[in-house]
Amino acid sequence: MDLEQLHHLYKEPSISGRYITLKDIEPILNRLNKNSELNNIGKSVQDRAIYSYQIGSGKIKIFLWSQMHGNESTTTKALFDFLNFLHSDSDIAKQFLKKFTFLAIPMLNPDGAFLYTRANANDVDLNRDSQNLTQPESKLLRNTFESFQPDYCYNLHDQRTIFGVDTTGVPATLSFLAPAYNEAREINENRLNAINVIASINKELIKYLPDGIGRFDDSFNINCIGDTFQSLGAATILFEAGHFPDDYAREQTRKFVFMSLIVSFQSFCENDIVINRLSEYLNIPQNKVVFYDFIYKNVKINYDGIEKITNFAAQYKEELIDNNVCFNAYISEIGNLEGFFAHHEYDAKGATYSDDESNFPKIGQKANFKLDNSINYVNGLIKN
pLDDT tens figures, 15-70? 999 999 999 999 999 999 999 999 999 999 999 999 999 999 999 999 999 999 99
Beta strands per DSSP E along the chain? 38-43, 49-56, 60-65, 100-105, 152-158, 163-165, 174-177, 213-215, 235-241, 287-289, 291-303, 306-321, 324-335, 341-347, 353-354, 369-371, 375-378, 381-382
pLDDT at residue number 20? 98
Confidence of residue 274 (pLDDT cuts 50, 70, 90): confident
pLDDT at residue number 303? 83
Q: Burial-class residue 196 by CB neighbours within 10 Å (0-12, 13-18, 19+).
A: buried
Confidence of residue 272 (pLDDT cuts 50, 70, 90): confident
pLDDT at residue number 372? 96
Q: Is residue 273 over pLDDT 90?
A: no
In angstroms, the CA 82 to CA 298 distance is: 46
CB atoms within 10 A of CB 102: 25
pLDDT in tens, 277-289: 999 999 999 999 9
pLDDT at residue number 252? 98
The whole-model pTM stands at 0.97
pLDDT at residue number 1? 78
Confidence of residue 365 (pLDDT cuts 50, 70, 90): very high
Tell me the mean pLDDT in the region 299-310. 92
Q: Is residue 197 over pLDDT 90?
A: yes
Is residue 257 within 8 A of residue 78, CB to CB? The reply is yes
Domains, the chain, ordered by start: 3-289 (3.40.630.10), 291-382 (2.30.40.10)
pLDDT at residue number 245? 97
Q: Point out the least confidently predicted range of 26-35, 222-231, 263-272.
A: 263-272
pLDDT in tens, 132-176: 999 999 999 999 999 999 999 999 999 999 999 999 999 999 999
pLDDT at residue number 299? 98
